[in-house]
Amino acid sequence: GQQLNQSPQSMFIQEGEDVSMNCTSSSIFNTWLWYKQDPGEGPVLLIALYKAGELTSNGRLTAQFGITRKDSFLNISASIPSDVGIYFCAGQVPGANSKLTFGKGITLSVRP
Amino acid sequence: DTEVTQTPKHLVMGMTNKKSLKCEQHMGHRAMYWYKQKAKKPPELMFVYSYEKLSINESVPSRFSPECPNSSLLNLHLHALQPEDSALYLCASSRLGLAYNEQFFGPGTRLTVL
């Protein structure tokens, strides 16, 4: 089946730094979603992407839908302590009938 | 209203108990989902309801029984669970259609099976 690769498993950055996360696959996706999950809470949708090459921002977050439709990245600029959490990418392949494929997630830690 | 609500927040049950998890959304979404999530893992899809009908069952054991009474409500009935069923259970909803795949999640129910 389809797999989404997110690595590394954990990232440690200094407050104020920018950070970039990638999500890659060997399969083509027609939707890319980025979620953030805090401990004990449900995932919160950050950005949704629907077109190859699309670049979308949401405050300090910017995400892009790769031209090949096999990857996406999420950038967080000027990180703050509340950016701590697990970031999941999720994608939908054509004809997947509402099913999402999730990456394994990246745990982000921000040092003050 | 862009919120999915879930009750209860926490649930502890014995292996012989029967309990239910509840989910509600008022965004007019016609697709609703149940996911199971273990610590530090991504959500795993269990069930999908489309237009109040079960459209996907990911080979979930029969001790989990979903129900969609109407377009706003989704229940998950639990019976004779095992300790390995302890997890965060997430409900999500979305519009239906090729262009609308954004799934919105509730806060989850933390289930502990003793």
pLDDT tens digits along A35-71: 999 998 999 999 999 999 999 999 999 999 999 999 9
Q: What is the mean pLDDT of residues A65-79?
A: 96
Would the CB atoms of A48 and B106 count as touching at under 8 Å? no
Which pLDDT belongs to residue B100? 64
**Model pLDDT for residues B3-44, shown as the tens digit of each residue:** 999 999 999 999 999 999 999 999 999 999 999 999 999 999
**Model pLDDT for residues B28-37, shown as the tens digit of each residue:** 999 999 999 9
d(CA B94, CA A47): 15
Contacts of B76 (CB under 8 A, 6+ apart): B20, B21, B23, B34, B46, B47, B64, B65, B66, B67, B89
DSSP B47-100: EEEETTEEEEE-S--TTEEEEEEETTEEEEEEES--GGG-EEEEEEEE--STT-
Which pLDDT belongs to residue A71? 95
Least-confidence region, from A27-31, A61-65, B46-50, B106-110: A27-31
- A91: contact with B, CB 8 A cutoff: no
Residue A98 confidence class, pLDDT cut points 50, 70, 90: confident
Residue A16 has what DSSP assignment? Answer: T
Would the CB atoms of A48 and B50 count as touching at under 8 Å? no
Minimum Cα–Cα distance from B87: chain A residue: A40
Which pLDDT belongs to residue B22? 98
Mutate to test the interface with B, among A98, A100, A101 (most CBs of B within 10 A): A98
Which pLDDT belongs to residue A101? 93
Q: What is the mean pLDDT of residues B100-105?
A: 86
Q: Are B67 and B54 in contact (CB under 8 A)?
A: no
On the question of pLDDT at B82 being above 80, the answer is yes
Q: What is the mean pLDDT of residues B71-99?
A: 93
Average pLDDT, whole number, for chain B? 94
d(CA B65, CA B50): 16
At B71, give phi and psi (nearest 5°). Answer: -70, -10
Q: What is the mean pLDDT of residues B68-83?
A: 96
Q: Which carries the bigger pLDDT value, residue A35 or residue A7? A: A35
- B99: contact with A, CB 8 A cutoff: yes
Q: Torsion over CA of B36, A65, A15 and A43, rounded to 10 degrees?
A: -20
Between positions 18 and 37 of A, the ones with CB within 8 A of B are 30-31, 33, 35
Which pLDDT belongs to residue A94? 75
Q: Angle at CA A94, nearest 5°, toward A42 and B5?
A: 20
On the question of pLDDT at B2 being above 90, the answer is no
Which pLDDT belongs to residue B1? 59
